[in-house]
């Protein structure tokens, strides 16, 4: 792991700039409205800041491995992180891709139940679980927010299960592109040329397919005109209606 840990001042230039204006780092955070942190009043943010450490990792760095004691939870502030599980013979299942504002660690108990690796360069806020639990105890809204997030993730997991159990390769790829597009929109990023920061191999391990099948299927979508490939890992959705129809299984 080559990621360095930066204390207090957040690595985001913009946040730093705003912080110098007089606001606290958390109050200036670009993704606070997306994250758990939105559960706290501005006046309570200093409590959060007191227990948080800013961290950054480069693409390919490991944040933690499945089976390690889960002493920390994280909030992703920039970049893309992947979560995955391995079978003894090396088969891999990527269980999720996380983006700015996403929370890491809801599902874990005493040990991490998956490994986490940076897809791109990322920045995160790290919390010691023990301290966050304490803070949560005093702020019931924080706990409620966490329950809301857990319920949301549970609903998303059901969709993922349907996809893996019953959808074809073409339906999976279409669903995947649409999901990335919708999530980008939700966090305020452009939803049409949609970023695909992860490799074909990562996509395959997320969708239960091989890289070859991912590649061939994307080619088919491209040749049919439904999507186009931009440079720099971006997909242009030319016909969203068609993509939705395919994804839903019509």
Partner DNA sequence: TTTCCCTGATGATCTGGATCAATGCCCGGA
Partner DNA sequence: TCCGGGCATTGATCCAGATCATCAGGGAAA
| Contact set with a second copy (CB under 8 A) | 85, 87-89, 91-93, 95, 106-109, 113-114, 140, 143-144, 146-147, 150-155, 157-158, 160-162, 164-167, 205-208, 248-250
Closest CA to 197 of 55, 94, 106, 91: 94
- Tell me how far, at minimum, the Cβ of 148 lies from a second copy, in Å: 10
Asked if 168 and 220 touch (Cβ cutoff 8 Å), the reply is: no
Q: Which is nearer to DNA, 92 or 139 (CB)?
A: 92
Give the shortest CB-184-to-DNA separation in angstroms.
18
Residue 146 CB, shortest distance to a second copy, in Å, is 6
99: CB partners within 8 A, 6+ apart: 76, 79, 80, 81, 183, 184, 187
DSSP SS3 for 210? coil
Each as own residue / partner, the long-range contacts of residues 13-21 (CB below 8 Å, 24 or more positions apart, any chain) are none
Any alpha helices (H) in the chain, and if so which ranges? 13-20, 45-50, 129-138, 140-166, 169-186, 200-207, 211-223, 240-248
Q: Is 213 in the site for DNA (CB under 7 A)?
A: yes
Contact between 229 and DNA (CB under 7 A)?
A: yes
3-state DSSP assignment of residue 119: coil
Nearer to a second copy, 170 or 229 (CB): 170
* Near DNA in 137-196, by CB under 7 A: 168-170
Give the one residue of 63, 116, 218, 235 binding DNA; rule: CB under 7 A: 218
Nearest to 100 by CA among 120, 128, 70, 73: 120
| Phi-psi group of 119: left, alpha or beta (phi > 0 → left; psi -120 to 50 → alpha; rest → beta) | alpha
Closest contact distance (angstroms) between CB of 159 and a second copy is 8
- Which partner, DNA, a second copy, none, binds residue 155 by CB below 5 to 8 Å per kind? a second copy
Residues 92-111 interacting with DNA (rule: CB under 7 A)? none
- CB under 7 A: which stretch of 47-55, 152-160, 207-215, 239-247 binds DNA? 207-215
Applying CB under 7 A, does 234 fall inside the site for DNA?
no
Q: Are 238 and 169 in contact (CB under 8 A)?
A: no
218 binds, options a second copy, DNA, none, Cβ within 5 to 8 A by partner type: DNA
Q: From a second copy, DNA, none, which one binds at residue 211 (CB under 5 to 8 Å depending on kind)? A: DNA
Stretch that binds DNA, among 1-9, 97-105, 139-147, 212-220 (CB under 7 A): 212-220
Proportion of the chain in helix, strand, coil states, percent, rounded to 5: 40, 20, 35
| Intra-chain end-to-end CA distance of the chain, in Å | 45
What's the min distance (Å) between Cβ of 86 and DNA?
Answer: 15
Binding site for DNA (CB under 7 A): 168-170, 199-201, 208-216, 218-219, 229
């Amino acid at each position: 792991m080559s990621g360095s840990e930066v204390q207090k001042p957040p690595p985001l230039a913009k946040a730093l700039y705003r912080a110098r204006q007089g606001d606290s780092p958390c109050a200036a955070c670009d993704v606070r409205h997306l994250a758990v942190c939105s559960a706290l009043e501005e006046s309570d943010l200093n409590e959060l800041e007191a227990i948080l450490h800013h961290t950054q990792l480069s693409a390919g760095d490991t944040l933690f491995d499945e089976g390690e004691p889960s002493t920390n939870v994280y909030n992703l502030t920039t970049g893309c992180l992947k979560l995955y599980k391995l079978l003894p013979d090396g088969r891999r299942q990527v269980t999720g891709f996380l983006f700015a504002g996403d929370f890491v660690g809801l599902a874990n108990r005493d040990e991490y139940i998956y490994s986490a690796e940076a897809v791109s360069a990322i920045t995160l806020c790290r919390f010691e679980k023990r301290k966050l639990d304490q803070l949560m105890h005093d702020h019931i809204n924080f706990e409620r927010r966490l329950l809301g997030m857990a319920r949301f993730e549970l609903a998303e997991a059901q969709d993922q299960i349907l996809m893996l159990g019953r959808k074809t390769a073409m339906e999976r790829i279409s669903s995947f592109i649409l999901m990335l597009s919708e999530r980008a929109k939700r966090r305020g990023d452009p939803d049409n040329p949609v970023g695909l920061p992860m490799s074909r191999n990562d996509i395959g391990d997320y969708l239960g397919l091989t890289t070859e099948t991912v590649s061939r299927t994307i080619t088919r979508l491209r040749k049919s005109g439904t999507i186009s490939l931009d440079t720099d890992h971006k997909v242009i959705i030319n016909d969203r209606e068609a993509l939705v129809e395919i994804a839903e299984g019509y």
